[in-house]
């Protein structure tokens, strides 16, 4: 896993795939995502997932392409964690977390972001158990920002049942069937239409 990670570098210039999803370079270089959105030698966007020991695996995305490291164990993708953070947002995919950050801009930059990468494994629950316990004791606000579809609502239910003593803030995309990247792309499309009609 370390070798595959070593074969990636932080993104430093515009990437067609991310641009097509409404995520520009300024979002990545803001500092919160500077080292956790990377690129490999083939030009794929790489999202490293972490476990207790470090890199657990890498999700790779591009136009019509998505894969996860062979033999890698799925951990949690996360943004840079900073001292003084007061909020943690948990999304399904890294793309959704990046979209959410852009849509719900935290001007004070005190929000950290996580992604589960879809169906939660038993191992991932152990990682999440540690997070929830730590953040609850630190009185950090925990947001569940999953997709507004049956799977996303299922994840929300699982979190609420597993951590019944924890108060989560639920933030679903406004329309049925949407994820946060859909919301971002719709917003940008409306802006472009409005600009074109001036």
Query: Looking at residue 185, which CATH number applies to its domain?
Result: 3.40.1360.10
What domain range is 111 assigned to?
2-196
Return the pLDDT at 76.
97
Q: Is 10 helix (H, G, I), strand (E, B) or coil?
A: strand
Return the pLDDT at 1.
65
Domain count across the chain = 1
Return the pLDDT at 143.
98
Residue 124, classified by CB atoms within 10 Å of its CB into exposed (0-12), middle (13-18) or buried (19+), is buried
89 close to 97: Cβ distance less than 8 angstroms: yes
| Per-residue model confidence as pLDDT tens digits over 131-183 | 999 999 999 999 999 999 999 999 999 999 999 999 999 999 999 999 999 99
Q: How many other CB atoms sit within 10 Å of the CB of residue 21? A: 20
Cα–Cα distance between 105 and 77 in angstroms, integer? Answer: 19
Q: What's the helix, strand, coil split of the chain in %, to 5?
A: 35, 20, 45
Mean pLDDT of the chain: 93
The tokens for 34 are 């500077």
Cα–Cα distance between 88 and 142 in angstroms, integer? Answer: 5
Low-confidence ranges of the chain (pLDDT < 70): 1, 197-198
Return the pLDDT at 5.
85
Prediction pTM value: 0.93
């Amino acid at each position: 896993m370390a070798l595959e990670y070593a074969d990636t570098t932080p993104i430093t210039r515009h990437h067609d795939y991310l641009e097509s999803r409404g995520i520009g370079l300024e979002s990545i270089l803001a500092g919160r995502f500077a080292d956790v959105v990377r690129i490999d030698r083939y030009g794929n966007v790489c999202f490293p997932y972490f476990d207790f020991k470090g890199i657990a695996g890498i999700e790779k995305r591009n136009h019509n392409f998505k894969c996860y490291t062979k033999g890698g164990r799925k951990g949690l993708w996360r943004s840079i964690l900073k001292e003084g953070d007061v909020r943690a947002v948990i999304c399904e995919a890294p793309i959704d977390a990046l979209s959410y950050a852009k849509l719900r801009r935290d001007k004070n930059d005190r929000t950290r972001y996580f992604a589960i990468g879809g169906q939660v494994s038993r191992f991932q629950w152990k990682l999440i158990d540690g997070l929830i316990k730590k953040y609850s004791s630190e009185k950090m606000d925990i947001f569940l920002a999953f997709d507004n579809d049956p799977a996303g609502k299922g994840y929300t239910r699982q979190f609420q049942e597993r951590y019944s003593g924890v108060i989560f803030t639920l933030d679903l995309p406004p329309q049925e069937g949407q994820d946060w990247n859909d919301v971002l792309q719709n917003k940008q499309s409306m802006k472009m239409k409005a600009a074109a009609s001036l």
